[in-house]
Chain A
Amino acid sequence: MNEVMSRRTFLKHAGVGAAVCAAGGLAVQPALASEGTSSANAWGVLVDLTRCNGCDSCALACKQANQRPEEDQIPNQLSSDSYSFVDRRVYVGDAGQEQQMPVKRQCMHCLHPACVSACTVGALTKTPDGPVVYDSSKCIGCRYCQYACPFGVPTYDWANPLGLIHKCQFCISRLDEGEQPACVAGCPTGALRFGTRNDLLAQAHSQIDSNPGRYIDQIYGESELGGTSVLYLSGVPFAAMGLPTLDSQSPSRYAEAVMRKTPVIGLTVAALASGAYWLTKRREFLAQPEVVPQEVNHDR
């Protein structure tokens, strides 16, 4: 075997290596969360904070519908035992007057959900109807979704030695039976409204237009993170209600742009490494003055 031959076998090997990398990278790529998958008729919920009296009926209805323990205990945070709760905020107005503000919180069912993009095993998915649903049978409990979600929605069942993630599923089984989500059905004041997101947005805009004193001119969730299925109307700024100030782009846009390039990056690195090896070998070969190849071969 001389230098030329070993270079040829090397190229063959490099080809096999590159093919293995490519096979891993070019696997079927599902739709990106940053591009959105919702249909025009996707469901939504409109939360009118000006109508909420803080009775906690929604949170208790939620517990019951999801068969959470301690059904009659009012939750004060999201946890594996409560997928929604009514946050208590105090709003201090311009004149210094304090105002008690109940704020219903749950999964926002983003149009471009970062949790779905992040989930290692695809246990979280965005359905075309709007809900972001969780398949507990796939989950490995890595808890990356907890870091990806800008709202702190996914919670882990810490008490269970084989704990799983818990989150609001938009009552998807109730929707399948033609019913409203449990929280909406349980609301006595009309602060929660269920419908298609498009209809709710139109209604919210006309409500703002016809009651300029009642609402601030913003619908939370219309553009936040590229849109959320749950929308909020409020009389006071949303930041004071504990709803984070977010830009209008998908939080996964950079990660997905990089992840899409995985096969290209892999093949480029493999090609560069192969090329570098070939160059070094060639330089070594050219640097050898009149070497008899057989001498080299008998080494091993």
Chain B
Amino acid sequence: MTVEVPLRQKQQTTSAVPVLDRRMVAALLAITVVIGAVAGILRLVLGLGATTNLSDSYSWGIWIGFDFGLIALAGAGFTMAAVGHVLRRHEYHAAVRPAILAGLAAYVAVLLLLVLDLGRPDRFYNFMLFWNPHSPLFEVSWCILLYTGVLVLETSPFFLERLRWRWAGKVIRIVAFIMLPVAILGVTLSTLHQSTLGTLYLNMPYRLHALWYTPLLPLMFFTSAVMAGLSMGAIAYWVAGRVVHKPVQPRVIFGLARIAAVVGLFYLALKLGEVIIAGDIGLALAPTHYAALWWFELLVCVALPAALILLPGKTLQRTGIGLALIIFGVLMNRFDATMFAQILPPGASYSPSLIEWLSTAGILAAAALAWILGVRFLPIFETGEADHHATTE
């Protein structure tokens, strides 16, 4: 309980921030969205060659990097739905809604990024018409589509509870009735596509560096998505509290961070153990940028945050740094797999074009803005334990 004191102080300083600052954040995000939309439209009209620095030897860039990274972070949706709806851990109840809303915002951003990256965006629906069930991207496409539907259902009570129409109550009851199987479906679809994003790289044994390439990639991608999802769940709850200027319960953040850190230790053992057993530890000790990236991912973004979160004498600030490092590390892992840990064909090089940067920034800003507005105007942030009943049960 002692930890509540610094938080309250923080809370007061937050409340002292003038309203204009929030408006300025919103305005900046909105401007980024508008610029990004222009960049995105230019890309769609002019094509990939004219607007990107992608090439045959470097065909996936920051759109795919952020896409796969964002999917892992959006694991907040399914991990917190599992904690809240399936495992019914009431102590984390307050963090469920911010996380699920963040999941929806992130998955819509993922879909937009994917459309920008497709060479034939006009045919995005072809994966529904032409099936190749042993293609990892085929499975990922279907899971993303279906899971976005699950997220719409899971977030629908937030909107319905705002409506004063007569039928809204009836719809809420219907949604509440099906919420458990929907949540289980969401957990299932997420487990499948989070792991299948790892399977995707199994088709590239000669492109992905041996420190990353292993048949265990699906398990590693799933584990790191759980780790990142729980961390995002804690951070989303924390930030949501600041958006609505209400105090957060530190034990929710500490609790989620602790689970994320324990999952992180398992992930660390998995990554390290695999490289040792496969006899690739020599690659990790060689003076290459691959080894540096690999150790950075494991030491700075898994081991260090686990220590910050788990060692005695924890504070909210220390835990927050740990959570941020975990999130950055998982994002980086997806970028490494897509770009920096790839063994490039001779002469291949890539630096993202302005249009790639602006369109990515615009989509990320749109997701952030939508989430902030949602937290501000919908019943997302609940302070106490007393309001279970307002949700799905």
Please give the residue numbers on chain A whose beta carbons come within 8 Å of chain B beta carbons, in ascending order: 10, 13-14, 16-18, 20-21, 24, 27-30, 32-33, 78-79, 114, 117-123, 138-144, 146-148, 150, 152, 155-165, 244, 246, 251-252, 254-260, 262, 265-266, 269-270, 273-274, 276-277, 280-281, 284, 299-300
Contacts and interface: CB of A to CB of B under 8 A. Distances in A.
Contacts of A270: 184-185, 187-188
B207 interface: yes
A159 B47 contact: yes
B138 A121 contact: yes
Contact of A158 (B54, B136, B180, B196): B54
B164 interface: no
B204 A148 contact: yes
Contacts of B215: 254, 257-258
Contacts of B54: 158
B184 A14 contact: yes
Contacts of B345: 152
13 contacts: A13-B178, A17-B188, A21-B188, A24-B146, A118-B137, A144-B135, A148-B203, A156-B48, A159-B47, A255-B134, A262-B196, A266-B192, A269-B188
Given A120-B137, A273-B86, 18 more contacts: A24-B142, A27-B131, A122-B130, A140-B118, A144-B200, A152-B57, A156-B48, A158-B47, A161-B46, A162-B120, A255-B200, A258-B195, A258-B202, A259-B196, A262-B133, A273-B82, A280-B86, A284-B88
A138 B124 CA distance: 10
B135 A117 contact: yes
A120 B140 CA distance: 9
Given A259-B199, A276-B87, A79 B184 contact: no
B88 A280 contact: yes
A281 to B, nearest CB: 7
Nearest to B214: A254
B49 A143 contact: no
Interface size grouping (class) on chain B: 35 or more
Contacts of B123: 139-141
Contacts of B6: none
Of the candidates B44, B50, B181, the one having the most CB atoms from chain A within 10 angstroms of its own CB is B181
A143 B59 contact: yes
Nearest to B191: A269
| Prevailing SS type, chain B contact patch | helix
B135 A120 contact: yes
A152 B55 CA distance: 12
B206 interface: yes
Contact of B181 (A17, A143, A144, A147): A17
A10 B199 contact: no
Contacts of B130: 121-123, 138
Contacts of B135: 117-122, 144, 259
B17 interface: no
B21 interface: no
Nearest to A116: B132
Contacts of B49: 157-160, 163
A300 B126 contact: no
A118 B188 contact: no
B393 A141 contact: no
B23 interface: no
A158 B56 CA distance: 9
Contacts of B141: 120
B87 A277 contact: yes
B219 to A, nearest CB: 10
Q: Lowest 7 CB-CB distances: which A-B pairs, in order?
A: A141-B119, A158-B49, A161-B47, A122-B132, A13-B181, A17-B181, A255-B202
B133 A265 contact: no
A161 B52 CA distance: 12
A152 B56 contact: yes
A277 B180 contact: yes
Contacts of B108: none
Nearest to B54: A158
Contacts of B138: 120-122
A175 to B, nearest CB: 24
B48 A251 contact: no
A172 to B, nearest CB: 19
Interface string B191-218: 1100110011011111100000001001
A173 B137 CA distance: 30
Contact of A273 (B48, B136, B187, B199): B187
